[in-house]
Amino acid sequence: MIGGALAIGFSPIISKAMKLPPSTIGFYRFFIGFVCLALILLMKKSKIDFMKLKKMLVPCLLGGFFFSCDLWLWHRSIIYIGAGISTLLANTQVLYLVLIGILFLGERPRWYFFLALFLTALGVIMTTSSLASFDFESLKMKGIFYGLLTGLSYSFVTLSLKKANEQAENPGAWPIFLLTFFASIFSFIFIVIEKEVHVPQGIDIVYALIYGGVIHAFGWILISKAIRVLPVALVSLILLLQPVFATILGVLIYHEEINIIQGSGLVLSLVGIYIAMVSKEKKKEA
């Protein structure tokens, strides 16, 4: 589980290291991830249940679209405001999930959700305060907005995966496989429209293989397996290693600056996100 969280935490570092355009990086992550997941399913000799696949098709199609949007936004946010802060903003997706439940699914919020919302909002304000300005065309402001929209996009990815798993009993790795397949198609459409179709050269080939194969395919497989056997609180805590790890590596490798106020805001946001994660799962169990 920790290995999976750390692998995914390495995502913004690899993305920032690559010389390809951000949309192109997203395409190669999904395409290589799709190929690796296909090989894993073949090696495991997973039987294809076409009835299950049919039921999962629409949720995975929608999830693939939102996942491609997620990386389109996130990769740009990483460039504009750094690996650590962009990853923190992306992790606000759990708050969006709760808000979607309240607004559209008739769920009733409990007091600890408002505590989580307050802590996360305060933390985000503290973390991004030195970057924010009234110049909404500035790259820093775009990075903040893209980071927050990344969290929103990823909340729809999570809902789509949840729906796909509900549609078919014991679907195994098929939902993430289908979702990755559709995400690679949408990402390819993006790079064709943007005229950013490029072939990786030199070290970018290695980065692309690591990003798609190790981080996307194996990272998510490790996390998916751990979610089934570990307590919710522990899983939530370990998943928060992703923004922490990304922040530390961003400082060490790219010399990204994090002052005391930003560091304190990061901690507050992580506490708020953790409370939201745990409270959401407790609500499911109730």
pLDDT, one tens digit per residue, over 206-253 is: 999 999 999 998 887 777 666 556 665 566 666 777 888 888 889 899
Q: Which tens digits make up the pLDDT trace of 254-266?
A: 988 888 998 999 9
Q: Mean pLDDT check: name the lowest of 13-27, 117-131, 152-166, 220-234.
A: 220-234
198 burial (CB, 10 Å; 0-12 / 13-18 / 19+) is middle
Q: With bands split at pLDDT 50, 70 and 90, how would you rate the model's confidence at 166?
A: confident
Using CB atoms within 10 A of its CB, is residue 17 exposed (0-12), middle (13-18) or buried (19+)?
Answer: middle
Q: Is the pTM of this model over 0.85?
A: yes
The stretch 106-119 carries a mean pLDDT of 82
pLDDT at position 286 over 60: no
The better pLDDT of the pair 172, 228 is held by: 172
Question: pLDDT at residue 197 above 80?
Answer: yes
Q: What is the mean pLDDT of the chain?
A: 86
Give the count of domains, the chain.
1
Domain range for 242 is: 2-285
pLDDT tens digits along 24-70: 999 999 999 999 999 988 888 777 777 878 888 999 999 999 999 99
pLDDT at 125: 87
